[in-house]
Structure 1
Amino acid sequence: MSGGAAGWGLRRLARWWRRRSLRTRLTVIAATAIAVSVFVALQVAIELLESELQDTAEEQLRADSHVLATNAERAGLAQVQLPPYPGSGRLVRVILPNGSTRTPAGQPALPPVSEHAGRVAQGASADLVESNDSDEDGYLIYTLRAGDGAVQVGARVADDSPIDRFGLGMLLIGLLCVVGGALVGRTVARTGLAPIDRLTAAAVRVAHTQDLDADIPDEGGGEIRRLIRSINDMLAALRDSRQAQRLLAEDAAHELKTPLTSLRLNVELLIRLDRRGTLDSALPAESRTRLLNDLGAQVAELSALAAELTDLARGDVNDETTELLDLADVVVAAATRARSRVPDIEIALGLTSVWVSGRPAALQRAVLNLIDNAGKWSPAGQSVQVRLRAEGASAVLEVDDAGPGIDAADVPRVFDRFYRADSARALPGSGLGLSIVQRVVDAHGGRVTVARSARGGALLRVDLPAAAPPAPITRLTAGEDTAVR
Structure 2
Amino acid sequence: MSRHAVRGPRRLARWWRLRSLRTRLTVIAATAIAASVFLAFQVASELLEVELRSATEDQLRSDSRVLAANAERAGLAQVQLPPYPGSGRLMRVVLSDGSMRTPDGQPALPPVSEQAGLVVRGASADLMESRDSDDDGYLVYTLRAGDGAVQVARAADDSPINEFGFGMLLIGLLCVVSGGFVGRAVARTGLAPIDRLTAAAVRVAETRDLDADIPDEGGGEIRRLTRSINDMLAALRDSRLAQRLLAEDAAHELKTPLTSLRLNIELLIRLDRRGAMDSALPAESRTRLLNDLGAQVAELSTLAAELTDLARGDVSDENTELLDFADVVVAAATQARSRAPELRVALDVTSVWVSGRPAALQRAVLNLIDNAGKWSPAGQPVQVRLRVQGTSAVLEVDDAGPGIDAADAPRVFDRFYRADSARAMPGSGLGLSIVQRVVDAHGGRAAVGRSSRGGALLRVDLPVAPIARLTAKDDTAPRPHGA
Q: TM-score range by the shorter chain?
A: over 0.9
2:162 match: 164
- Cα distance in 2 for residues equivalent to 1:109 and 1:270: 130
Match for 1:70: what amino acid? A
CA contact (8 A) 1:317 1:362 kept: no
Match for 1:225: what amino acid? R
Match for 1:383: what amino acid? P
Alpha-carbon offset, residue 71 of structure 1: 2.0
CA contact (8 A) 2:94 2:100 kept: yes
1:58 match: 57
CA contact (8 A) 2:391 2:469 kept: no
Q: Deviations over 1:111-137 (max 9, x none)?
A: 222222112111222211122233433
Alpha-carbon offset, residue 106 of structure 1: 2.6
Alpha-carbon offset, residue 316 of structure 1: 5.5
Alpha-carbon offset, residue 422 of structure 1: 1.1
Match for 1:446: what amino acid? G
- Cα distance in 1 for residues equivalent to 2:283 and 2:200: 68
Alpha-carbon offset, residue 175 of structure 1: 0.8
Alpha-carbon offset, residue 470 of structure 1: 12
What pairs with 1:108-257 in structure 2 (closer than 5 Å)?
A: 108-159=107-158, 161-257=159-255
Match for 2:64: what amino acid? S
Match for 2:47: what amino acid? L
- Cα distance in 1 for residues equivalent to 2:469 and 2:459: 26
Q: Deviations over 1:241-260 (max 9, x none)?
A: 11111111100000000111
Alpha-carbon offset, residue 60 of structure 1: 1.1
Alpha-carbon offset, residue 273 of structure 1: 2.9
2:292 match: 294
What pairs with 1:369-408 in structure 2 (closer than 5 Å)?
A: 369-408=367-406
1:322 match: 320
Count matched residues.
Answer: 470
- Cα distance in 1 for residues equivalent to 2:144 and 2:64: 9
More off after superposition, 457-466 vs 277-286: 277-286
2:445 match: 447
2:339 match: 341
CA contact (8 A) 1:351 1:387 kept: yes
- Cα distance in 1 for residues equivalent to 2:43 and 2:418: 85
CA contact (8 A) 1:317 1:443 kept: no
2:307 match: 309
Correspondence 1:74 to 2:76: no
User: What TM-score do the two structures reach when normalised by structure 2?
Assistant: 0.94
- Cα distance in 1 for residues equivalent to 2:183 and 2:120: 62
Label 1:317 to 1:111 Cα distance change in 2 as closer, same or farther (>3 A): closer
- Cα distance in 2 for residues equivalent to 1:136 and 1:240: 86
Q: Deviations over 1:227-284 (max 9, x none)?
A: 1111111111111111111111100000000111111122222223333343333332
CA contact (8 A) 1:137 1:156 kept: yes
More off after superposition, 399-408 vs 425-434: 399-408
1:475 match: none
Match for 1:100: what amino acid? S
- Cα distance in 1 for residues equivalent to 2:453 and 2:69: 129
Structure 1 residues not aligned, in runs of 5+: 473-485
- Cα distance in 2 for residues equivalent to 1:141 and 1:113: 10
Match for 2:426: what amino acid? P
More off after superposition, 250-259 vs 312-321: 312-321
More off after superposition, 36-45 vs 114-123: 114-123
- Cα distance in 2 for residues equivalent to 1:412 and 1:140: 103
1:96 match: 95
- Cα distance in 2 for residues equivalent to 1:190 and 1:113: 66
- Cα distance in 1 for residues equivalent to 2:185 and 2:315: 51
Q: Deviations over 1:73-103 (max 9, x none)?
A: 2222112222222232222111111111111
- Cα distance in 1 for residues equivalent to 2:134 and 2:194: 62
Q: Deviations over 1:203-222 (max 9, x none)?
A: 22222211111111111111
- Cα distance in 2 for residues equivalent to 1:333 and 1:356: 16
More off after superposition, 190-199 vs 297-306: 190-199
1:43 match: 42
Match for 2:229: what amino acid? I
Alpha-carbon offset, residue 388 of structure 1: 0.6
1:414 match: 412
Q: Which of 281, 284, 309 is matched with 1:283 structurally?
A: 281
SS at match of 1:193: helix
CA contact (8 A) 2:333 2:369 kept: yes
Match for 1:359: what amino acid? R
What pairs with 1:344-359 in structure 2 (closer than 5 Å)?
A: 344-359=342-357
1:479 match: none
Alpha-carbon offset, residue 417 of structure 1: 0.9
Match for 1:424: what amino acid? A
More off after superposition, 245-254 vs 258-267: 258-267
- Cα distance in 2 for residues equivalent to 1:270 and 1:248: 33
Q: Deviations over 1:46-84 (max 9, x none)?
A: 000110111111111111111221222222211222222
SS at match of 1:435: helix
Match for 2:408: what amino acid? D
- Cα distance in 1 for residues equivalent to 2:315 and 2:39: 61
Alpha-carbon offset, residue 416 of structure 1: 1.1
More off after superposition, 197-206 vs 245-254: 197-206
Match for 1:330: what amino acid? V
Match for 2:87: what amino acid? S
- Cα distance in 2 for residues equivalent to 1:461 and 1:122: 115
Structure 2 residues not aligned, in runs of 5+: 472-483
SS at match of 1:109: coil
